[in-house]
Amino acid sequence: MRKSSLRRTCAALAAGTSLALALTACGGTTKEDVKSEGASAATAGKADPNAELKKGLTVGFLPKQVNNPYFTSADKGGEAALKELGSSYKEVGPSSATDTAGQVSYVNTLTQQQVDAMAVSAQDPGALCTALKQAMKNGIKVVTYDSDTTADCRNAFVSQASAEDLGRTEVQLLAEQIGYKGEIAILSAAQTATNQNIWIDFMKQELKDPKYKDIKLVKVAYGDDDAQKSFQQTQGLLQEYPNLKGIISPTTVGIKAAAQYLSGSKYKGKVKLTGLGTPNDMRKYVKNGTVDAFELWDPAKLGDLAARAAVALVSGQITGKEGETFKAGETTYTIGKDGVISLGKPTVFDAKNIDQFNF
């Protein structure tokens, strides 16, 4: 049976019976279609860089959290790219950033709906793996974007910037702002978030440099990408550590909530805050003196690249192996180690440049 008709039969099966059972059975019969190679799940077979991009595909976007403005921008970028390429977009996903079971069921839904590819920002590095491997066994290409799974659970990861650059530069930004001295804390997203946890590891590495010997990281708090919880966690940090000099929040939801708390408190301008935020969320806190500088990439460009990588995978231009190249718009991207495709360098925003950005 040809793979496409097999997929159709499998999906019909999945629709009429227990999804898990049907997918297991179907996955078993197509095992030879997908072989794990190296660390990433690059498919067997050679990439053809000259293959024509397929049209009429459906690519499902599954963000960590649907009602998060960061993902609204990212996924809109994906939608626009797919429209330009003659393919269709759909978005599904949980409203909480700590609903891994919800994310698993959305992967299964997309598999059942026979999308051609899915772009997933994982709440947890391992929780989605069984479902994603099942999707790949059913011929669906899987791209992670923003927050990765382990490398064998997807074909490629579209990364916003080097994790090392992001972690280290956030410490550098804060250290300058507090004069290389004092207690600092981190306000993160969900405790399981792959992206934030890698960045935090690099922050800790950076802090080992002797130039930071007078800086002490006192706590990593988790606001779960929930505005209210992030606000309360900021308040809690300042109660627990009254001498706190600075906070790094590597999440758009966290940094906004922390800025909101600080700007209405006696700590405004005294306790420094940096991390990852959108210029539109942070503009007023830069202008009112709560925040000096923070950074981010353009989420819409990340979604755009995730969509184009997904279409390139389905079209056979790439398989996810290191060294393969593909064109996205005017730029040629080369796939790095472990199937990582990197968008580029982040931008630092401050009072001087923030008005040039609108996202």
Closer by beta carbon to ligand RAM, 144 or else 155 = 144
SS3 39: coil
Q: Least distance from C-beta 148 to ligand RAM, angstroms?
A: 11
Any bridge partners for residue 184, and if so which? Answer: 217, 246
Closer by beta carbon to ligand RAM, 79 or else 298 = 298
Cβ burial 240-256 (10 Å sphere, 16+ → b, else e) = ebeebbbbbbbbbbbbb
Residue 75 CA from chain centroid, whole number: 11
Closer by beta carbon to ligand RAM, 239 or else 358 = 358
Q: Least distance from C-beta 176 to ligand RAM, angstroms?
A: 21
Closer by beta carbon to ligand RAM, 68 or else 98 = 68
Per DSSP, 152 falls in state G
Q: Least distance from C-beta 343 to ligand RAM, angstroms?
A: 12
Q: Least distance from C-beta 150 to ligand RAM, angstroms?
A: 17
Closer by beta carbon to ligand RAM, 82 or else 166 = 166
Distance (Å, whole) CA 323 – CA 72: 31
Reference 164, options 213, 121, 203; nearest CA is 203
Residue 99's Cβ-count burial label (10 Å; 0-12, 13-18, 19+) is middle
Q: Least distance from C-beta 191 to ligand RAM, angstroms?
A: 12
On whether the CB atoms of residues 323 and 334 are closer than 8 A, the answer is: yes
On whether the CB atoms of residues 104 and 131 are closer than 8 A, the answer is: yes
Q: Least distance from C-beta 296 to ligand RAM, angstroms?
A: 7
Q: Where do contacts with ligand RAM occur on this chain (CB under 6 A)?
A: 64, 68, 70, 121, 146-147, 189, 193, 195, 225, 251-253, 276
Closer by beta carbon to ligand RAM, 112 or else 192 = 192
Beta-strand ranges (E) seen in the chain are 58-62, 88-91, 117-120, 141-145, 156-159, 182-188, 215-222, 244-249, 272-275, 293-296, 325-328, 331-334, 340-342, 347-350
Nearest residue to ligand RAM, by Cβ distance, number only: 70
Q: Least distance from C-beta 118 to ligand RAM, angstroms?
A: 17
Closer by beta carbon to ligand RAM, 7 or else 168 = 168
CA angle, 210 then 211 then 213, to 5°: 60
